[in-house]
Each structure stands twice: as structure tokens, then as C-alpha cells.
Chains A and B, each alone.
Chain A
């Protein structure tokens, strides 16, 4: 690993200032950054440790109730803290489940909310500095297009990048219209979750709306009454501690057999956490039946563009979504 300057951020202002340099990276849980630094994928000259900020402002690392309903997840709250929180489990089961189905017990004790949604793709060509990757080295090409792309995305891809967004949590967050709070050189602002992650397009190296120096301070879960009737279903190659081949975050509001409200997002198949308004439109106002769910799944995957080895993901994602909808309405 290359050498770097370490700064334990004494306050948010200092963190923002130090983090604005192109060669700087923030560290919190460390489970993504240190992994990638060992691989030589990340080579920061400055590492700014955000953890000390929690000693000045405890809300940065805790879960609190919002005045108008909903929950605020501190950016430094650990995955396990949020996953086991009774309010999250009761009001947003899909968020709790997405966390418990991700990573391992140890990683969940380290990784933070902000770090989770900023985690980098698991594309092996991104993680191998000997290979071409437009995300890691813009303009170098995409080795996955003609390489081993079984795990890659089928939604939101471009000719420059087909890397899957790896986060489970982010899929649940986009389903509930979470809001990301950031603090930057120009003050504080909020970013709707659906706008937070970017499609790769011609610039896969740009992954989020964050500007240099901006620090995530919190993620809000807005009030959503039928989020109590929600689930996160994840399908993977092994039973645990694996990234999704396909996943579905769904919340349904079913009244007298008719779907009044629906939230649908997919994981493991998109270049960003994939909210499917198409599926929601196919659900709302329809009877809560398997046929409706299958139609919604067809709608969600209508735009899918498979690569040479991952055509199976289209059907897998459809069945995953159908099953998730079935389970949550049962």
C-alpha cells in the first residue's frame, strides 16, 4: 500500500476543507477504502478520518426520530446499529433486512450508512489494476464487455460500463425515497436518493452527485406508512455473505385486495440502485394477485439489456420481484 497522510478530522469544517483535495479520501468504516487501497485501486495521498466527528456531534452516528415522522440515520451509524434498531425493524423492515442480508457480522459492525451507499462496484475488472476499466481509469476501456460478465448489470448500462452497484441498503433506500444530507464547502444541501447515484453513461468514473469535499452527514427515511409492509429479498450464489445476483426491495399498500401504493426497487441488476416506477405503475390500482406481480416484473425488466453471460438475470430478477411482492402481500 502506498503511503499517505492521515488526518483525524477534529470538526466538520476541517474535514470538508481537507477532503476537497482531489487526492483526498474520507474514511469511516474503512471496509471499502482500505480494501481498495490494498489492491492499488484507491491511491489517496490524504486520508481524512471522519470517525472523530461523532464525539463532537453524537447524532452523526445515531438514529433519531424526525419531527414529522420518519427516521434520521446518522452518516456514521454502523450497519448493525441500524439493522437491529427496533424503530427501523418495525417501520422500515426492508431497510433492516437489506442490511442483515449484506456483508458479514464483522463488516456490519464497521461499515457506515454513508460508506455503504458510496461503496464501489465489485466488478473484478475495476478491482484489478492490470485490466481496462473506464470507472477506474477513464478512457481505458471496459474489459467486462467481452470478459466474464455473469455478475454484471442488465439495467442502466452503457457502452463504457456495465458494473453493478453492489449495495443492498441503497436499493431499500431508493424504494422509500430517502434523502441524503451533505455538508460541503458551500454549506449544507440535500439530495433526493434517486438523484444521488449517476448512471455510467460516458463517464462511469462519476458515480454520485457529491462534489469535492462534500461529506454525508445523514440519510433521512421519510414517513411512509406502508413501509411497515415491506421486504427485501436477495438471491445470491451462496446462502450468506455474497453480493446479490438479483434482489428486490418492495413495499405494498393493499386495501381490500387492491394495491393502493407500491414501492419497487431492484438490486444486483442495475448500474445504480434501481427504482422501478414502471413496476409501481403496473401495480397501483390493480388486484393484489400473482398475475399482477408478474406483469409488474415484466415491466420492471422491459428495458433490460443482458451481456454475454448474464441473460439469466432477467428471469431471475422477475422471479425475485414476483416472490417478494407475493411474500409481502401474504
Chain B
């Protein structure tokens, strides 16, 4: 374990930390820069399993800092602070007492965090110079401040982002997904699929081949079935995006969803959301009525389990019953 001689800002993620995402480092830097003089805070990131998380604090300084990382295998740290699947920010003093917390998908106010840190810094006395992970997990020993930062769904406008429309850096991108506008902080290279899954938390669209050959990532853009892995999210602003999460009407399944259940149109289920989204687009295209036409129209969706007979039956059931149009 690294040795720390100064109070810490501890940030931990119940999920996966990806240091290649510069906006995360920029966000940390912003926090450091806003700490009161003499706080001497350092950063610690605890990464566990699963998806990485983006921080959305605005920042113009892109210099990086070295981030000591401890493993949070099994999300022990996250559980200790009562974090399950929601983003959260904690400020914890040297006694391990939570002084401030923010849990929820809305982004916290940076000013609130800084005020809480300042308050905690004034109360803190000394920091333990050395600790083990076990000690840390057990008692949060030596930690002046702990931040659990997991804002996935960011409200960029609340954070005062730059408004640059072009460039390689992460910038606010507004996507209309399932009828709601989501503003995400994205680099141009982020595909629509990655934006949906890793930034918006909509993991119904699957990543299979990531090269447009399997169809698992199929979504509708302006009502047409398309591959979310082969387009950049930044290109889809102003378009109407529908994912599998937006297909049902509340608790009422889409006719194709019901038909896939009725006809066993899946086995493992990995390709299913793509199959259903593709089918929901296909039924509005001028294909012929035969099973053969369905198979041809659906050839962009691969099913490793071989559930094709059920898939064709489900689609034909919906087409023949006239329930397709929705």
C-alpha cells in the first residue's frame, strides 16, 4: 500500500476505474484546486468490478495527476458506505464520520462539496501516516476526506460546462433517448452504444462484435433500426433515439416482446434486445410476407444459441396479427 502523510481526498468507485478517461482526471484536479490552502489533500481511487464512471465537473486544466489506486474487490468500500447502484459523494472526517453525503443520479453541486471539505478540514486533526487496505476497509483510518463519486447520469448544465461544439475533448452532448433529453459529457470518439451503456446507464443495448456484424446493439434512430456501435454519439444530437428500454409502454410490453416470450425467441438472451429492436424496425419496412423474407430482413442479427425458428415465429405472429404498428 502507498504511504500517505497528508490528509486524503479519497474517491472511490464501486465500479471500474479507467484512468484513460481524461475527463475523470480533470474532474479530480478541479476538486483539488478548489480545496482550501493547506488541506494538503491527495487523491485515492478505489476501483472495483464493472463499468467505469465519469465525473462531470467542469475543468479547463488537463494536466494529469498520479492517482494511487486500491482495489475495491467485491465493492467492500462501496457497501461500507451504503452505496449500491446509485452515484454518491461522501465527505468523511478523520473519525470516519460522514459529514456530508449526496446520493442520486443528479450531479452534486461542486460548491457544496468544497464547503463540506473545508468544514471537515478544519475539524480534522492528524492523519495516520500508514495504513493497510484491511485497516482502511475496517475503519477508514487515516482518511481525512472520503468522496464517493459515481455520477453517471450527469446534469451537465448544472456544472457550467464549456460550450465548444467541436474538438477532441469531452463536451456536453445532448441525446434524446426514449423521449428524454440526456446531456452527457462525451468525447467525439464515444460511440452511441458506449454512450448509452457506459454513460447513460442504459445497458439493454448489447455490445457483441462492436463492428456492425452481429446486430446486438440495434437501436432506432428517428424510427429506423440502426447499429449504435457504428455511429458516434455526437452525430446523433437532435435525433430521436429509442432503445429496448423505451419499447414497452410502462408495464405493457411491446407486442414483439410478448411474442418473443410466447415463441421462445431466445435462449441466453444476449442478442434478444437487438433482435427485438431490429424486428420492430423490420415490421415497418416493405418486406414480403414469407418466413424467408423475415430471415433475409433479419440477417443482420446473429443468434449464437440458434433461436432463429422462434424469432421468425414471433415476428410472423406479430406481423400477421396486425399488432406490429405502434
On A, residues with C-beta under 8 Å from B are: 1-8, 27, 29-31, 34-35, 37-38, 47, 49, 51, 80, 84, 103-107, 109-110, 239-241
Contact = CB atoms under 8 A, between A and B. Distances in A.
Contacts of B188: 3-6, 47
Contact of A3 (B165, B187, B215, B296): B187
Given A6-B234, A30-B232, A51-B235, A106 B189 contact: no
B281 interface: yes
Contacts of B268: none
A31 B227 contact: yes
A35 B211 contact: yes
Nearest to A32: B230
Interface stretch (B37-45, B70-78, B218-226, B247-255): B218-226
Contacts of B213: 241
A105 B282 contact: yes
Interface in B102-156: none
A104 B274 CA distance: 13
10 tightest A-B CB contacts, nearest first: A104-B300, A6-B188, A240-B299, A241-B299, A3-B168, A109-B224, A106-B227, A30-B231, A106-B300, A7-B166
B232 A105 contact: no
Contact residues of A: prevailing secondary structure: mixed
A1 B298 CA distance: 29
A85 B281 CA distance: 18
Given A30-B235, A35-B230, A110-B226, A4 B168 contact: yes
A241 B211 CA distance: 13
A34 B231 contact: yes
Size range of the interface on B?
Answer: 35 or more
A84 B286 contact: yes
Contact of A34 (B166, B230, B281, B282): B230
24 contacts: A3-B187, A3-B189, A6-B166, A6-B232, A8-B165, A29-B230, A30-B230, A31-B212, A34-B229, A35-B212, A84-B285, A104-B299, A104-B301, A105-B225, A105-B278, A105-B282, A105-B297, A105-B300, A106-B227, A106-B278, A109-B225, A110-B226, A110-B231, A239-B299
A8 B286 CA distance: 32
B295 interface: yes
B236 to A, nearest CB: 9
Given A1-B189, A3-B168, A109-B281, 13 more contacts: A4-B188, A5-B167, A6-B167, A8-B235, A29-B230, A30-B235, A35-B230, A49-B235, A106-B218, A106-B300, A107-B227, A110-B230, A241-B300
Contacts of A110: 226-227, 230-231
Contacts of B227: 31, 106-107, 110
Contacts of A31: 212, 227, 230
B146 to A, nearest CB: 32
A6 B297 CA distance: 33
B210 interface: yes
A34 B234 CA distance: 13
A38 B168 CA distance: 16
B191 interface: yes
Contact of B191 (A4, A34, A241): A34
Contacts of B224: 80, 109
Nearest to A18: B166
Given A5-B188, A27-B235, A110-B227, A105 B167 contact: no
Contacts of B230: 29-31, 34-35, 107, 110
Contacts of A37: 189
Nearest to B189: A1
Interface of B: 165-168, 187-189, 191, 210-213, 215, 218, 224-227, 229-232, 234-235, 278, 281-282, 285-286, 295-301
Given A5-B168, A6-B167, A34 B232 contact: yes
B215 A104 contact: yes
Contacts of B299: 104-105, 239-241
A5 B301 CA distance: 32
Please indicate which of the listed interface residues B226, B234, B285, B296 has the most CB atoms of chain A within 10 Å of its own CB. Answer: B226
A105 B166 contact: no
A84 B232 CA distance: 26
B166 to A, nearest CB: 5
B45 to A, nearest CB: 22
B226 A6 contact: no
Nearest to A104: B300
A138 B168 CA distance: 28
Nearest to B223: A109
A130 to B, nearest CB: 17
Nearest to A241: B299
Contacts of B210: 38
A29 B299 CA distance: 19
A95 B300 CA distance: 21
A34 B281 CA distance: 23
Nearest to B166: A7
A241 B298 CA distance: 10
A106 to B, nearest CB: 5
A80 B295 contact: no
Contacts of B168: 3-6
A105 B298 contact: yes
Contacts of B229: 34
Contacts of B167: 5-6
A27 B189 CA distance: 12
Contacts of B281: 105-106, 109
Nearest to A100: B296
Contacts of B232: 6, 27, 30, 34, 47
A278 B17 CA distance: 62
B211 A106 contact: no
Given A30-B232, A47-B188, A107-B212, A240 B295 contact: yes
